[in-house]
Amino acid sequence: MTESQTESSQLADCDHIPIIDLSALDSRNFDERRKLAQSIYDACTQAGFFYIKNHGISEDKINGIHSSAKRFFDLPEAQKMKFYIGNSSKFRGYSPLGSEKSTGTEDDPIAEEDAVGALSEAFDIGYETAMDPQKSKDDPLPRDPYGLYGDNQWPGPAVLPSFTETYIEYCAMMLGLCRKLMRIFALALDLPEEHFDLMTQNPGVTSRMMHYPPQPVKEEVREGLGAHTDFECFTILSQGSVPGLQVLSHSGEWILAPPLPGTLVVNIADCLSIWTNKKFKSTIHRVTNLTGQERYSVPFFFGVDYDTTVSVLPNHISNDRPACKEPFKAGEWVREKLSKAYVGYEG
Ligand SMILES: O=C(O)CCC(=O)C(=O)O
Ligand SMILES: [Fe+2]
């Protein structure tokens, strides 16, 4: 993939991924929050990716979600297929090994007949009020013309005791962290910190557990996940201890983003990039597991309420830089992207 084919807002403008200390995220001192926002602004406009440390999620909880992922993928295939994603009209559930095919990126699409099944299996869930610290679990979900909220296919306690509780608890912690990050992004964009608060009441959140087995044939490398950008506002990724994630740079090099102890990885996704008229990069990335070990990861994708209109911020529009896109509904965008991501299955 070369730069001439690919928009520069999808390519990292650096040769490494910065590490950002989030200690000031809860600071009462505005200047400290402002300073943090500035370093986040730099990372979002250069790499579109950054590691976070001192993020407040304990090592214990992170290890817990990774062992839950391993327990799920260790189930017999027939058992996992009871939660098959094809049973869901909302892209929730289990995708077996090789069933997800890369469609490439907008600027560099891969034809359906050329797409190769990825060397990974996944279990996907979406937002429900039980995972939202601001809601009680019986609160109703909002009106949803996009058909995306709810209907997770949880394996019950007879199949995997405590799995659902562990994943819901993990999502609750992530949701809290994401709402705080959204405030820092607002500050980074010279907006009031609470700018996005009313747009994240029932946020368009999805998460997935991923399993990337080792390469079955040494000489023949298969991608675990093809080159793509994420669709929502941003992603927080817990990638365990086995490397595999790569980020595409301007020079056409794939920058490695290996796991660093005590950190999570954040990357900007399409909606926030569009909001900023592509000033924030929604950077292309992929996964290839060359380690000979089993790799597990748990991305958490954070978006605004599906009914939110995403519209380029006026202070990012100028004569030289007209709006990159007409306003659109977040749910419409996410549904369209998801239905392309799962070739042969449109939800
Ligand atoms: O597994 C990883 O490291 C990244 C996964 C990812 O990019 C995705 O699921 O969108
Ligand atoms: Fe991704």
pLDDT at 124 > cutoff 50? yes
Q: Is the CB of 119 under 6 A from ligand 1?
A: no
Ligand 1: atom nearest CA of 208 is: 9
Cα(227) to centroid(ligand 1), Å:
10
Cα(105) to centroid(ligand 2), Å:
12
Cα(55) to centroid(ligand 1), Å:
19
The H-or-E segment that residue 254 falls in is strand 254-256
Alpha helices in 189-283 (DSSP H): 270-275
Query: Which structure tokens are listed for 152?
Result: 């997770």
Quickly state the pLDDT bin for 156 (edges 50, 70, 90): very high
pLDDT at 227 > cutoff 90? yes
What are the pLDDT digits (tens) for 230-252? 999 999 999 999 999 999 999 99
Best CA proximity match to 312, nearest among 341, 282, 272, 263: 272
Ligand 1: atom nearest CA of 295 is: 1
What are the pLDDT digits (tens) for 289-318? 999 999 999 999 999 999 999 999 999 999
pLDDT at 1 > cutoff 50? no
Supply the pLDDT for residue 339.
84
pLDDT at 22 > cutoff 60? yes
Sheet holding 49-53, edge to edge: 19-21, 49-53, 264-268, 234-238, 295-302, 206-212, 121-126, 93-95
pTM score above 0.90: yes
In the chain, the percentage of residues whose pLDDT exceeds 70 is 93
pLDDT at 114 > cutoff 80? no
Ligand 1 pocket check: which of 103, 256, 290, 297 to mutate, most ligand atoms within 8 Å of Cβ? 297
